[in-house]
Structures are given as C-alpha cells and as structure tokens.
Amino acid sequence: MRPLTAAAATAGALGAGAAAAAHIWARHVEIHRYTLREVELRILPPGARTRRVLHISDIHLMPRQPHKLAFLEHLATLNPHLVIDTGDNIASAASVPILAEALAPLLARPGAFVLGSNDLFAPHPKNPARYLLPDPRPAGITEPRDPTLPTGELVRRLTEFGWKDLTNTRASIELGGLEVRLVGVDDPHLERDEMPPRPDPEPPAPEHGNVLRVAVAHAPYRRVLDAFAADGADLMLAGHTHGGQLRLPGIGALVTNCDLPRRQARGASTWKGVPLNVSAGMGASPYSDYRLLTPPEATLLTLRAPRPLAHP
C-alpha cells in the first residue's frame, strides 16, 4: 500500500470511528443528560418581588422513559411561582396519563400552556435530510385535519387544576403583587396561529400596579415574534427547535426547523428588543431520539425588578 493511500485509509477509519462514537453518545448518553438552564432577567416593574418562572417544552413523552420522569419530578422541587409549557408534550396516546401524573406537582402551581404539532399528531419516521431544506415541513402538514392523538384528553388533564390554555387567546394570572398578562397562539408550524386582538379597552391596572406581559408560542416563527413584540410583550417564550438537536463545535445549530435564525436556536436572546427564551426542550421524536451538544433541558427564569440607582 502506498503511504498516501494508507494515510487516507487511516483518516477514513478515524472519521468513521468518530461518527460512530458521536452516534452512540447522542443516542444513548446525551439524550438522558437532563439539564436545568438558569436565566436571570431584570424585566419586572420597579419594586416588584422576584419571581421564578419554569419554562418546560418538547417533552415528547413516551411510556417507559424513567430518566425523563425523574427530571420532571425534580423540576417540581424548584417551587416556581409560574410554569409555562410550550408544547409537544407527548409522543403517543398512552403517554397522556403518565404525563399528567408526572406533571401533577407542577399542575398544582399557577401555569399556562400552548400545544405543539406533536400534541395533535402521532410521530412518524422522517428523512433527517428534510431538515436541511428551506421549509422542512412535509406536504399537507398545514391542511386542516383531525388530531390522531387524544388532544382533548391532554388539554383536560393540563387544565384540570387551573393551568390556562393559551391557544389563540389571552389570560391573566395574579401572582400576589404581580399580574401576568398572557397571550398565546396555536402552533405556527401548522399555521394554526391566530393572534388574538388586544382587548379594547385594556383591563384596568391592578391595585398594586405591577403587570408583566408574557407571550407564548410553540414554534418561534418570525411572524409570530413580530406580532408578540408589536403587542407589547415583556417576555416571549417558545420551544420547538430542540436547540437544533444536533449541534457542531464552532458552528452550533444547523437548523431551527422554522425561520428563526440559527444563533437563536436555544436559550435567551432578544427579538426586536424583547427578551426571548427558546427552550431546547426535554425530548425528541421517538424516530430521531438523539441529541448532540444540546442536552435535554428545562429553563428556570428568575425575573427581577431593575437594580436601584446608586446614590452619588
């Protein structure tokens, strides 16, 4: 064998070995490395007490996922003041009661949610190369059709202790000294989003005067974020991207599965000056159950009032 051929063969073998190791890591190790991302934002009105908001997303729960259930149990110990769930909760009909049981301690707290496409339609195998297309959605996905999953039962279980369903609607939650005014839309990935009109006249300010406007969607398409910003949101929360699901060192996410810029595929950023948190989510489709350099996560947002001005 000539030296050049030997070197090429060695490089090829090393590359194949690295790819195999990355696959084993992504499929069997990182997919279980549940992480709590912590974000601090000074967006509360001056004088308002600090509040903790737990943002969960893209659980994609299947039966028999003990690591995921243990993480959900752990999240309840954080005692958040408010829970926001940005959808894609389940991946099978059998998951609904398991999800409701796992979420029970969080469902007992103030909360709100929107649904994602995977809360309506059972997953099926997809060609991963589709995600590199400008629009990765399969043909017909936006056509009106009935859910193939028990979405009604899922909504019943999510709302039975008081969580607000923000599907194309508004709601408010009083957190004792802070009124959270929420707006949400149905999944933009399915083009079911309809921005609810601003109430006219606006509801009167609460006696304590502290209002926080939070806008919630599953898939962070630009048109929706633009509408939320124009609506006066103080904070926007979304999921759907899975943080890119596969990230490469030095490059980051290759895709966002929507038109959000790749650099905003996960974590806190801003959109038109408004804080935006995109959760990388806790799971993935059972047909692509792997993650690379974007471990499954939930986010604990600590919201504070602005720092008092220093006296000279």
Binding site for Fe ion (CB under 5 A): 58, 88
What's the min distance (Å) between Cβ of 118 and Fe ion?
6
- 241, two tokens: 């991207």
- Closest CB to Fe ion among residues 58, 297: 58
Rounded to whole angstroms, the Cα distance separating 148 from 122 reads 6
Q: Hey, which residues does 268 pair with through a beta bridge?
A: 277
Query: In 3D, which of 32, 109, 114 has the Cα closest to residue 69?
Result: 32
With respect to Fe ion, which residue has the nearer C-beta, 86 or 210? Answer: 86
Nearer to Fe ion, 58 or 193 (CB): 58
Please report how close the Cβ of residue 96 comes to Fe ion at its closest, in angstroms. Answer: 16
Compute the least distance from the CB of residue 187 to Fe ion, in Å. Answer: 10
Query: In the complex with Fe ion, which residue's Cβ is closer, 274 or 280?
Result: 280
Residues 6+ apart with CB under 8 A from 70: none
- Helix, strand, or coil (residue 49): coil
Q: What SS3 state is found at 50?
A: coil
CB-nearer residue toward Fe ion: 30 or 88: 88
Query: If you write DSSP's letter for every residue of 225-258 in order, what string do you get?
Result: HHHHHHTT-SEEEE--SGGGSBEETTTEES--SS
Mention every residue, 6+ apart, whose C-beta is less than 8 A from residue 234: 43, 212, 213, 214, 274, 275
3-state secondary structure of 169: strand
Distance CA 59, CA 65 (A): 11
Q: How far is the CB of 242 from Fe ion (least distance, A)?
A: 6
- Nearest approach, Cβ of residue 38 and Fe ion (Å): 22
The enclosing H or E element of 76 equals: helix 66-76
The nearest distance, CB 243 to Fe ion, in angstroms, is 11
By beta-carbon proximity to Fe ion, the closer residue of 58 and 234 is 58
- Least distance in angstroms from the C-beta of 58 to Fe ion: 4
Cβ-based nearer residue to Fe ion, 58 or 186: 58
> Cα–Cα distance between 157 and 104 in angstroms, integer?
9
In the bound complex, what is the minimum distance in angstroms from residue 161's beta carbon to Fe ion?
24
Cβ proximity to Fe ion, 69 vs 175, nearer residue: 69
Question: C-alpha angle with apex 121: 35 to 53, nearest 5 degrees?
Answer: 35
